[in-house]
């Protein structure tokens, strides 16, 4: 009696294009992404008294510290925007980018035990990190909106059509963090020193980004170099759209977009290449 021919429901291959993100396969594992996002959200505040309230406390205290140090003592300009709103916008955007970048950079090193036991698209992990940080950003964005409405009623901010670019700006930050994070995640499988370098570099990078100052405060060579910082166009566009203040131009955002998607492509190539052999080096 002939046995019915078996049909395989899953085929695992080690040969695929270096540019292939395997998004269709990632979509099939969307439930796993949800589980990772839930895990990150719960574990981040497990055994804490205030829990998710820290989402609000962190940006508020950071904003107040910037307001005192950079706004009052250093007296840095804010292009005429309300100082507390200017710093809150910068802190909120920076928290999302830095949290996504730092989390994504530990994809291989931090999940080696899971990767070595079960198969799933490795891209699921960095995507879940970006999404979990997006949830935190959403909570902090509500805080920003609350302050923004207050100053809008007082007519101290003049929003414009560029507020509609906010989803695209968030997408750019996510792509930037994902691209650079995948590069560092791949490299740290061999060179673990880069973990310490990344933490130090992210701290320095904040001061090269218009978080505590507007791009208009820069002059000479620094102003020219700032244009090639991918975050400059994003931060300036956000503040220009919501506050009606800032030194923003479409060219600045276009440069940011080109650089970010170039880095995302490079990160994808490196991530896909290291994915095949990283268990031998971790």
Cα–Cα dist 256/209, whole Å: 12
d(Cα 187, Cα 48) in Å, to the nearest integer? 34
pLDDT at 149: 96
Look at the alpha carbons of 136, 194, 35, 47 in this order and tell me if their dihedral is positive or negative.
Answer: negative
- Nearest-10 crossing angle of helices 83-104, 193-207: 160
The answer to whether 144 touches 81, Cβ cutoff 8 Å, is no
Q: Residue 50 corresponds to which tokens in the numbers above?
A: 């205030």
Are 121 and 22 in contact by the 8 Å Cβ rule? The answer is: yes
Looking at residue 186, its pLDDT comes to 83
Question: Which residue ranges make up each domain of the chain?
Answer: 51-280
Please say whether the beta carbons of 209 and 94 come within 8 A: yes
Q: 């829990």: which residue's tokens?
A: 51
pLDDT along the chain (282 residues), means of 10: 57 55 75 83 65 77 92 89 94 94 81 71 84 89 94 92 95 94 84 78 92 91 92 95 89 95 90 66 50
| List of residues 6+ apart from 51 with CB closer than 8 A | 45
CA 12, CA 8: separation in Å to the nearest integer?
11
Give the pLDDT of residue 280.
47
Q: Structure pTM?
A: 0.86
CA–CA distance, 97 with 178 (Å, rounded to integer) = 9
């Amino acid at each position: 009696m002939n046995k019915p021919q078996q049909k395989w429901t899953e085929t695992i291959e080690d040969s695929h294009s270096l540019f292939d993100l395997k998004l269709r396969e990632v979509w099939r594992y969307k439930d796993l992404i949800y589980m990772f996002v839930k895990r990150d959200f719960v574990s981040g505040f497990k055994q804490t008294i205030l829990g998710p309230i820290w989402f609000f406390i962190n940006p508020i205290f950071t904003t107040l510290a910037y307001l005192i140090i950079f706004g009052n003592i250093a007296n840095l300009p804010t292009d005429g925007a309300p100082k507390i709103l200017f710093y809150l916008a910068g802190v909120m955007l920076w928290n999302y980018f830095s949290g996504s970048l730092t989390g994504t950079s530990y994809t291989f090193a931090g999940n080696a035990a899971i990767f070595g036991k079960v198969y799933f698209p490795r891209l699921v992990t960095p995507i879940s990190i970006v999404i979990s940080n997006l949830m935190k950003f959403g909570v902090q964005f509500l805080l920003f909106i609350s302050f923004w409405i207050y100053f809008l009623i007082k007519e101290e901010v003049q929003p414009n059509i560029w507020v509609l670019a906010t989803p695209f700006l968030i997408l750019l930050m996510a792509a930037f963090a994902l691209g650079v994070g995948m590069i560092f995640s791949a490299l740290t499988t061999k060179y673990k020193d880069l973990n310490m370098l990344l933490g130090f570099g992210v701290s320095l990078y904040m001061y090269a980004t218009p978080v505590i100052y507007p791009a208009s405060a820069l002059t000479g060579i620094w102003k020219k170099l700032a244009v090639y910082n991918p975050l400059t166009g994003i931060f300036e566009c956000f503040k220009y759209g919501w506050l009606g203040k800032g030194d923003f131009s479409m060219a600045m955002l276009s440069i940011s977009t080109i650089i970010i998607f170039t880095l995302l492509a490079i990160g994808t190539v490196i991530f896909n290449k290291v994915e095949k052999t990283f268990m031998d080096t971790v």
